[in-house]
Amino acid sequence: MDLKGKSVLITGAGKRIGAGLAKAIAARGAKVGIHYNRSKKEAEAVAKAIEKKGGVAFLVQGDISNAKDCGRIVTETAQALGGLHVLINNAAVFFKTPLFQTTEKDWNTTLDTNLKGAFFCAQTAAKVMKKNGGKIINIADWASDRPSRDYLPYCISKAGIIALTKGLARALAPNITVNAIAPGTILLPEDCDEEEKKMLINRTPLKRIGDPKDVINAVLFLLEGTDFMTGSTLVVDGGRLIA
């Protein structure tokens, strides 16, 4: 796919990897829909950075744990940008949920945001893309294959993302490809201390924390580098999965 002039929606694009994806894809000449829920100021800063370099950015707010909002987010973006060629399901929540302290609210918040949101965004996006084709990329996690006891709802939601990727790939072929990226430790949580950081590095065969560019480049490969992959998951984890 040549991204120049294409319309791309990225959920959770106000911060962290989502913000990096928005800027990198806009730099390729694409028109970018920047979705956010509560991170309005951060999303506005991303849009301004894109527009400053001559790019096109559209801001759209919504709660992707709500199916109606998912449909609206995709529809409004497609209308504003003149169609939709790419959806990147990036938005997610991530917080500790030890087994015996996890509440129903924790479960619902995590699964609804991370998995239900991706499903319903993809559902509407596929309707828009159906005629001319397109690409959907879901951001999973390496831990979907090796779930942590302190983050079970999160890991389960990301395992669901990989199943969703395979199912959508079958349902939407041949006009729409669907793939996933499974990052390892890329950006540390804000509450991560030095001891935990050292532990994460020691558990990674490449002995370092990943860079957002590692994930961004993987996404760009799926967009620009090949049109002959669907239902696949690229693991970008520094070797955590084999450690």
What domain range is 44 assigned to? 7-236
Are 90 and 17 in contact by the 8 Å Cβ rule? The answer is yes
* Residue 241 within a domain: no
Question: Which tokens belong to 61?
Answer: 């707010």
pLDDT 10s digits, 205-242: 999 999 999 999 999 999 999 999 999 999 999 999 99
pLDDT of residue 130: 93
Per the structure, the count of domains in the chain is: 1
Beta carbons within 10 angstroms of residue 161's beta carbon: 24
Mean residue pLDDT of the chain comes to: 96
Q: How confident is the model at residue 3 (pLDDT cuts 50, 70, 90)?
A: very high
pLDDT of residue 192: 75
pLDDT 10s digits, 76-110: 999 999 999 999 999 999 999 999 999 999 999 99
How large is the angle between the packed helices 40-52 and 16-27, nearest 10 degrees? 20
Catalytic (active site) residue 151 = no
pLDDT of residue 8: 98
Domain harbouring 33, CATH code: 3.40.50.720
Q: Does residue 14 register a pLDDT over 80?
A: yes
Question: Which tokens belong to 64?
Answer: 């992707």
pLDDT 10s digits, 166-179: 999 999 999 999 99
Residue for token digits 């209308």?
Answer: 79
Which of 97, 154, 178, 234 is catalytic? The answer is 154
* Residue 2 within a domain: no
Query: Residue 53's closest CA among 31, 34, 27, 35?
Result: 27
* Residue 107 within a domain: yes
pLDDT 10s digits, 54-69: 999 999 999 999 999 9
pLDDT of residue 82: 96
Q: Map the chain to HEC letters.
A: CCCCCCEEEECCCCCHHHHHHHHHHHHCCCEEEEEECCCHHHHHHHHHHHHHCCCEEEEEECCCCCHHHHHHHHHHHHHHHCCCCEEEECCCCCCCECHHHCCHHHHHHHHHHHHHHHHHHHHHHHHHHCCCCEEEEEECCHHHCCCCCCEHHHHHHHHHHHHHHHHHHHHHCCCEEEEEEEECCCCCCCCCCHHHHHHHHHCCCCCCCCCHHHHHHHHHHHHHHCCCCCCCEEEECCCHHHC
- The model's pTM is 0.96
pLDDT of residue 194: 84
Average pLDDT over residues 22-48: 98
* Residue 221 within a domain: yes
* Residue 242 within a domain: no
Q: Does residue 191 register a pLDDT over 80?
A: no
Angle at 139 between CA 135 and CA 142, to 5 degrees: 135
* Residue 243 within a domain: no
Q: Exposed, middle or buried, 239 (CB in 10 Å: 0-12/13-18/19+)?
A: middle
pLDDT of residue 132: 93
* Residue 150 within a domain: yes
* Residue 102 within a domain: yes
